[in-house]
Structure 1
Amino acid sequence: MLKKAFFGVLHALGYYSRYTSVLHHPGKQTLAPGFVQHFNEAEKAFLEDSARSFNYVIDYSLGYRQKEQFLVRLPEVEVLGNTGAVVLNGKVVMESVGEVSRLAKSDAFKEVSLLLPKRKAGRYTSVLFLPWADNNNYHWFFDCLPRLYLVLENTQEPIQVIMRRDMAPYQLETLHFVLKGYSQASVVYIGKHEKWQVDEFVLPSFVANAQSGFLPREVADWLRQKVWQGYNVQSPARKRRLYISRAQAKTRRVLNETELLPVLQRYGFEMVRAEELTYQQQVQLFFEAEAVMAPHGAGLTNLLFSEQCQVLEFHPANLIKTHYFLLCKALGFKYSALVGTTGDKLECYQVPVREVEVWLESIGS
């Protein structure tokens, strides 16, 4: 009794110290089986370099396993407004947070935050993934919206999608693009300091894995079409070549970018600072791109909205990330990686300009 009262006080303060899994819950519905994506020798070498830079914490060099896709129907759960986590019988549902590595970092586990309970009748779902997707377009387009594909395509009954009103404008815009055409779905808004107790919750699995922009083709094409149509993307008179600069970012800057720019200009590349554009402009720009070059960063998320292009991504030698290689693999884009010097404490580094020029020569003028 004392133990139950103790956890009751913690839960009233928004603190949850335990978690559970629903992978074997009787309400689970498998929608698509998992599969393994294999790689050629050059791709394996790149993935091995990446794994080594992360001390093999994540290693896709022996094959990338796309997880199964599923829904789980859960009666009588709580939805936390501060994180989007789902709580079943006093324990956070791991599959609502992502994976085990996210649990220890989740605000639901380490911040005391008074959450006011509210009873809500009806059927709900949510793809909130905070703080990760808080104004972060990578997490929004790979960890959040793809999960709605599973719900909307496989739930015919009326269902309410729980969101936060303080999401970034592009997130609310693209959410409504995705919902268009699904009359069974509507949006409701939860407060940051609210905890909803709902009758039924439809929990969608995460589609993408950690450090991966790989989406099954049917999910990627669904999302691309929804965003293209929502932003009324127009076919260009000519294709463009883009260099995405991080010169104004705090981290992962290319320190010798000024040496690089004259070379890029000779090959028809234009420098773009994505943060200076509206999201509609970013989507349109990437749709028009035939080639994209950039240091690793969230700006490359917009490759998802390219029709077809070649990609050269820069990495510091000590931190080689796989997110956009796997995105390109899923979309059939030609991808190349260029590894620079070891990054400093802000992950800033230099790239070998001559090697960039060799790549430019290979794609032609």
Structure 2
Amino acid sequence: MKGIYKKHIESISKKAGVHSVVEDYYNTLLGSISDKAILTREELRNRADSVYTFSSPETVCVSSADEFSDHYTYGDSHHFKQPFIAEIRGGRVLNGSGICTTENYQPILDSDKSVKYELVWRISLRKLLVKSIKNKLNEENNRYDHNTVVPFTSTVRTENESVNYFVWVHNYITKIQGIEKYSQITGREPKILLPKNSPSWMIESLRLFGYDNDLVFWNPEDELRIRRLVIPSNRRGEKLTNNRTMDHKILSPIACEWLRKEAEKCLEIPKAEYPSKVFISRGDANRRELENRDEILNHLRDRGFVSYELTDLTFQEQVSLFSQADQVVGVHGAGLINLIFSSQCSLTEIFGDQFVPTYFLLAQSLGLGYNAILGESTREKDTPPRHQNIKLDPEQLSIIPS
């Protein structure tokens, strides 16, 4: 034992007769201070106190987009095992990150985005080791802060910032089917735990699906202990290594179809309020803007497209807009995740020099049409290529279906 961690052990080992127990426990845990300590989806299924399965396994087949991309790779098929809801008794919500752990501080990958290296960046496994030892000695208060909770706490990023809209819809809203099934199977109505100061679109989206009085807000400075921590398995692929593969962006078609149909049942806005041809202008963005947006918009208007800036719309309005669109044209950005609410739509996505297959993979999962247009990045200094503004030749718009 070295340095500060030895001091931690000595400070909590002064009780008579416990030093050797603590040292043995410390040495055992020290060997597991790595990303192997994190519970993957399959390990969560095997180690949870209770597991409730629903729906069915499925396989997503993906065609190649090699003509666009030499930066990312993905498999031509992806298999999803049967989804489930895990119940962890005495589970924890870590302060700061909002990552969830077992009672003994094993981090749960599916409480976040299912990307292991990102989770490792956000927590200190060594600090969790010390917490685990203190817990072993029963030095912590064993009270529960909440009874039965579904944590959406890992959406926090900084004091005044959360995950973006894409991650929220792609990773968290797609868990709602699991929450519904948990209530049906157990008869329990879990609260949904959110960071305080969550963006309005998070709350609006949950309210659309009927979760209004079920929301509880959490101060990210606090660590919580939960009597029943309810973790619906993520409905996207896992990423267990740090590489250029994009399989973790592939979504379950069954989850998407369920979500779309439930959203349409809840909509209060008539579909006729919106056109069938939609252009997402990104005029409200501070990166990846179209340098010649007015020129492009004029060409698209001649073809019947109507321009929208998604920040001007509520969550319900965005769902309604995409749910009835036949064609969507837009620059790569978070708002295109609303494609998940479309059933018969074709997306034409605009990039600069670099293609990113996120929405190509979504379109493949949903069986929707897809085209990509590569424009010219404007080469701004100190701006990553995928975030640079774009200039597009209007003639390239001819690829858009009539």
Q: Distance in 2 between matches of 1:302 and 1:8?
A: 53
How far is 1:35 from its partner?
3.9
* Higher mean C-alpha displacement, 258-267 vs 291-300: 258-267
> Counterpart in 1 of 2:59?
36
Where 1:252 maps in the other structure, the secondary structure is: coil
Q: 1:95 to 1:213 in 2, by over 3 A?
A: closer
Q: 1:151 to 1:237 in 2, by over 3 A?
A: closer
Q: Does the CA contact (< 8 Å) of 1:245 and 1:271 recur in 2?
A: yes
> Counterpart in 2 of 1:149?
177
| CA distances 1:53-81 after superposition (whole Å, capped 9, x unpaired) | 24xxxx22533344652222222221125
2:117 is the counterpart of 1:101 = yes
Partner amino acid, structure 1, of 2:86? V
Partner amino acid, structure 2, of 1:20? I
Q: How does 1:171-182 map to 2 (within 5 A)?
A: 171-179=202-210
Q: Does the CA contact (< 8 Å) of 2:269 and 2:317 recur in 1?
A: no
Q: Distance in 2 between matches of 1:266 and 1:322?
A: 29
* Higher mean C-alpha displacement, 285-294 vs 302-311: 302-311
Q: How does 1:167-316 map to 2 (within 5 A)?
A: 167-179=198-210, 186-209=214-237, 214-236=250-272, 239-316=275-352
Q: 1:172 to 1:263 in 2, by over 3 A?
A: same
Count of residue correspondences:
337
Structure with greater strand percent: 1
Q: Does the CA contact (< 8 Å) of 2:93 and 2:225 recur in 1?
A: yes
Q: Distance in 2 between matches of 1:8 and 1:326?
A: 52
| CA distances 1:115-150 after superposition (whole Å, capped 9, x unpaired) | x98733533222333246926221111111212311
2:192 is the counterpart of 1:166 = no
2:152 is the counterpart of 1:122 = no
Q: 1:177 to 1:93 in 2, by over 3 A?
A: same
Please list every run of 5 or more consecutive structure 2 residues that lacks an aligned counterpart in the other structure.
12-32, 128-139, 240-245
How far is 1:32 from its partner?
5.2
Q: Distance in 2 between matches of 1:217 and 1:143?
A: 13
Partner amino acid, structure 2, of 1:163? L
Q: Does the CA contact (< 8 Å) of 2:60 and 2:365 recur in 1?
A: no
Q: Does the CA contact (< 8 Å) of 1:233 and 1:283 recur in 2?
A: no
Q: Distance in 2 between matches of 1:328 and 1:142?
A: 13
Q: Does the CA contact (< 8 Å) of 2:204 and 2:316 recur in 1?
A: no
Q: 1:305 to 1:121 in 2, by over 3 A?
A: closer
Please list every run of 5 or more consecutive structure 1 residues that lacks an aligned counterpart in the other structure.
10-16
Q: 1:178 to 1:282 in 2, by over 3 A?
A: closer
Where 2:349 maps in the other structure, the secondary structure is: strand
How far is 1:324 from its partner?
1.6
* Higher mean C-alpha displacement, 232-241 vs 267-276: 232-241
> Counterpart in 1 of 2:90?
76
* Higher mean C-alpha displacement, 284-293 vs 136-145: 284-293
Q: Distance in 2 between matches of 1:8 and 1:272?
A: 61
> Counterpart in 2 of 1:359?
399
How far is 1:343 from its partner?
6.2
> Counterpart in 2 of 1:25?
47
How far is 1:86 from its partner?
0.9
Q: 1:175 to 1:82 in 2, by over 3 A?
A: farther
| CA distances 1:152-189 after superposition (whole Å, capped 9, x unpaired) | 213423223222342122211221332459xxx93322
Q: 1:279 to 1:74 in 2, by over 3 A?
A: closer
Q: Distance in 2 between matches of 1:233 and 1:225?
A: 15
How far is 1:342 from its partner?
4.7
> Counterpart in 2 of 1:139?
167
> Counterpart in 1 of 2:136?
none
| CA distances 1:280-315 after superposition (whole Å, capped 9, x unpaired) | 332332234221100100121222233422210012
Q: How does 1:85-100 map to 2 (within 5 A)?
A: 85-88=99-102, 89-97=104-112, 98-100=114-116
Q: Distance in 1 between matches of 2:152 and 2:232?
A: 8
Q: 1:233 to 1:327 in 2, by over 3 A?
A: farther
Q: Distance in 1 between matches of 2:85 and 2:349?
A: 35
2:366 is the counterpart of 1:331 = yes
Q: Under a length normalisation based on structure 1, what TM-score does the superposition of the two structures give?
A: 0.79
Percent of residue pairs identical: 20
| CA distances 1:22-73 after superposition (whole Å, capped 9, x unpaired) | 333153455456543223xxx41x15743x224xxxx225333446522222
Q: Does the CA contact (< 8 Å) of 1:82 and 1:130 recur in 2?
A: no
Cα RMSD, aligned residues only:
3.4
